[in-house]
Chain A
Amino acid sequence: MSGSRSKSVVIWAFVLAAIAMLSAPTIVVLGASFTAGNMIEFPPQGFSLKWYSAILSATDLRDAFFRSVYVAALNTIIAIPIGTLAGIALAKYKVRLENTIQVYLLLPFTIPLIGSGIGLMLVFGNAGALGQLWPVAIACCVINLPFMIWAVTASASNLSNDLELAAANCGAPPVQTFLYITLPAVLPGVITGSLLMFILGLNEFLVSLLLVDARSVTLPVQIYNSIRSIITPDLAAISVVFIVCAGVAVTLLDRLVGLDIFLKSK
């Protein structure tokens, strides 16, 4: 950045305000989780890990957490083959009606989440599947699928037609070519996409809220339900789980593809 001092001052003022807005909730939740008091107060009443031991023995929170992990894992496992194949098809082949197909595959982004959630609720409800966890996983997979496809197509620049032809020329039949040439080329995209799918599945709130019943609440829904009654530090401690997961995801994403990829122009 170049320019005068006043420009830096103005820009930094906005950026610092934005950073404060973005990170304040995270920092506060982290701080509140270590409080020694029974209420969340400022200044905090000393340091303790008692709320972490409290959540370890709280079966409802723990069960909800494992349900969330299950949903996130299942949704990622479904998304990997489906998104990878679709991404390869879009990136590598000339497909008829490609624009129409793209618009169609972007439907999960264009339809507001509440609309998708209500629609899937009606579909799974009519099929008598509500109250189980797999519909939640499938729903998470549907609404985030464009991320997976995007990640794969973005890494498809490594995909060289010549390499595949060379493999074929050396006598590799189609399946071998696909397994040894095509798949490894898009692997970084598959990993990025899976990471996004997992973390977004872990956090998914609205669609879970619509699809779960009292026996199958996921962690975000559980936190949401508990918040409405009273604010206690055990919720802060369990929220730290999400913060840690997000931290791991950001670190992995940066290591694997570099966050700078999101700054590139088309």
Chain B
Amino acid sequence: MRTYRVAYPLTWRAMDVLEAFVAFVWPPSFRAAVPYLFLLPALILVGLLVLGLIQIADTSMRVLDRDTFLLSDAYSLDNYRRALTEPFFATIAGRSIIGSLIVTVITLVFAFPYAYLMVRTSSSALRKFLLVALFLPFFIGQVVRAYGWLIILGNQGIVNDILGHAGIPTLRLLYNYPAVLFGLVQYMLPFAVLMLAPALTAIPEELEAAAGSLGASWLKTFRHVVLPLARPGLVGAGLVVMTLSLTDFAIPAMLGGGSQDFIANAIYDQFFRTSDQGLGATLSLLLVAVGSLLVGVVFTAFGAGTLAMGGRRK
């Protein structure tokens, strides 16, 4: 008996206690509920967002009293009327929407060849280089990247220094609409390429070879074979880029210098400058509605792409 006790290691005994404890708090008859138990913490955590949306909805229906700077207790739709009728917000919404459309088109034009080369190249070193060039900025974060652009494009920036040496007077390259759009394009490139790449991988290279051997030029092959087959990826990437740039804050704030605000900047100003939380909440809710609608369309039409969770096996 004594030798048996020695041979039975401590870890085993600890495991036995653990098993007994688990069997006690979660009897085997509850086994069917195990996956729900596993999901519960994640559901609760994401529930914070739902709670947040409810708070936003509640705040959005309270009007700011200009005398006391408190929100009203009574509900009203006045904030929505203001958000939808005041020309100031229409200007900002128009700038954001037109901007995100332009950004989407330009981003796709650059992302498509990038993804194509990355998927089709036979050199694994080149593929790795392209992937690293893509992931590095993605992981560096928006603020540092925007800071880099400030150094390059600022009035005392690199470009103007070079132009100065060539005798060209200082150009105002920052704090205008094109600067914001440019910043957004380079911010969105990694997202677009990563959404496009799986779609391009799915197109067999033989199809292009076949088109070529039947006499189609590469442009024709591109137009009539590759582009149509890549359409799901293009639409998916396009919608993601559009939503992200429509709702972006940092790039318009840093490269627009306050004169090129997008919707997110207007929301921030309502909360932290004007202190009209009600109107800010209203704008947030409207933006969430538009943004979620766009992404919802992507997910229902094309699936979540590489981000699909579960789904494949079982």
* Genuine A/B complex: yes
Q: Enumerate chain A interface residues (CB-CB to B < 8 A).
A: 1-4, 6-7, 10-12, 14-15, 17-19, 21-26, 28-29, 32, 39-43, 78, 81-83, 85-95, 98, 101-116, 118-123, 126, 138, 141-142, 145-146, 149-150, 153, 156-157, 173-176, 199-200, 202-206, 209-210, 220, 223-224, 227, 231, 235-236, 239, 242-243, 245-247, 249-250, 253-254, 259-260, 262-266
Q: Whole-angstrom distance between the alpha carbons of A209 and B43 in the complex?
A: 25
Q: Whole-angstrom distance between the alpha carbons of A242 and B143 in the complex?
A: 10
Q: Across the interface, do A205 and B143 meet the contact criterion of CB distance under 8 Å?
A: yes
A21/B51 contact (C-beta < 8 A), A113-B247, A243-B144, A263-B119 known: no
Asked if B97 is at the interface (CB within 8 A of a chain A CB), the reply is no
- The 10 lowest CB-CB distance pairs between A and B, nearest first, are A119-B52, A25-B148, A203-B141, A112-B247, A246-B139, A90-B310, A86-B42, A89-B38, A93-B35, A14-B113
Q: Whole-angstrom distance between the alpha carbons of A210 and B131 in the complex?
A: 32
Report the count of interface residues on B (CB-CB < 8 A): 123
* Chain A residues in 8 Å Cβ range of B39: 85-86, 89-90, 95, 101
Q: A53 → chain B, closest Cβ, in Å?
A: 20
Q: Across the interface, do A123 and B51 meet the contact criterion of CB distance under 8 Å?
A: yes
* Chain B residues in 8 Å Cβ range of A89: 34-36, 38-39
* Chain A residues in 8 Å Cβ range of B271: 118, 121, 210
Q: Give the tally of cross-chain contacts (CB within 8 A).
A: 365
Q: Across the interface, do B118 and A239 meet the contact criterion of CB distance under 8 Å?
A: no
Q: Whole-angstrom distance between the alpha carbons of A28 and B17 in the complex?
A: 59
Q: Across the interface, do B113 and A98 meet the contact criterion of CB distance under 8 Å?
A: no
Give the nearest-CB partner of B148 in chain A.
A25
Contact with A along B56-96 (1 / 0, CB 8 A): 10010000000000000000000000000000000000000
Q: A80 → chain B, closest Cβ, in Å?
A: 11
Q: A52 → chain B, closest Cβ, in Å?
A: 16
Q: Which of A83, A93, A110, A145 has the most CB of B within 10 A?
A: A110
Q: List 12 A-B contacts (CB under 8 A).
A: A2-B208, A15-B113, A25-B147, A103-B299, A105-B43, A107-B46, A112-B264, A115-B284, A115-B285, A174-B28, A254-B131, A259-B132
A249/B139 contact (C-beta < 8 A), A101-B43, A175-B19 known: yes
Q: Across the interface, do A98 and B254 meet the contact criterion of CB distance under 8 Å?
A: no
Within 8 A of A (CB), among B143-193: 143-152, 154, 156-158, 161-162, 185-186, 189-190
Q: Whole-angstrom distance between the alpha carbons of A204 and B249 in the complex?
A: 12
Asked if B214 is at the interface (CB within 8 A of a chain A CB), the reply is no
Q: Across the interface, do B131 and A111 meet the contact criterion of CB distance under 8 Å?
A: no
Within 8 A of A (CB), among B256-303: 263-264, 267-268, 271, 280-281, 284-285, 287-288, 291-292, 295-296, 299, 303
Asked if B109 is at the interface (CB within 8 A of a chain A CB), the reply is yes
A174/B50 contact (C-beta < 8 A), A111-B292, A242-B140, A262-B197 known: no
Contact with A along B124-137 (1 / 0, CB 8 A): 00011011111111
The main secondary structure of chain B at its interface with chain A is helix
B267 in complex: contacting residue of A101, A104, A118, CB < 8 Å? A118
Q: Across the interface, do B49 and A40 meet the contact criterion of CB distance under 8 Å?
A: no
Q: Across the interface, do B127 and A260 meet the contact criterion of CB distance under 8 Å?
A: yes
Q: Across the interface, do B309 and A150 meet the contact criterion of CB distance under 8 Å?
A: yes
B295 in complex: contacting residue of A110, A150, A209, A253, CB < 8 Å? A110
Q: Which of A21, A107, A113, A263 has the most CB of B within 10 A?
A: A263
Give the nearest-CB partner of A223 in chain B.
B143
Q: Whole-angstrom distance between the alpha carbons of A130 and B35 in the complex?
A: 34
Q: Across the interface, do B151 and A28 meet the contact criterion of CB distance under 8 Å?
A: yes
Q: Across the interface, do A114 and B137 meet the contact criterion of CB distance under 8 Å?
A: no
Besides the known contacts A26-B148, A82-B41, A105-B43, 11 further A-B residue pairs in the complex with CB atoms under 8 A apart: A14-B113, A15-B130, A21-B110, A21-B189, A25-B148, A41-B161, A118-B52, A118-B281, A223-B143, A224-B253, A250-B136
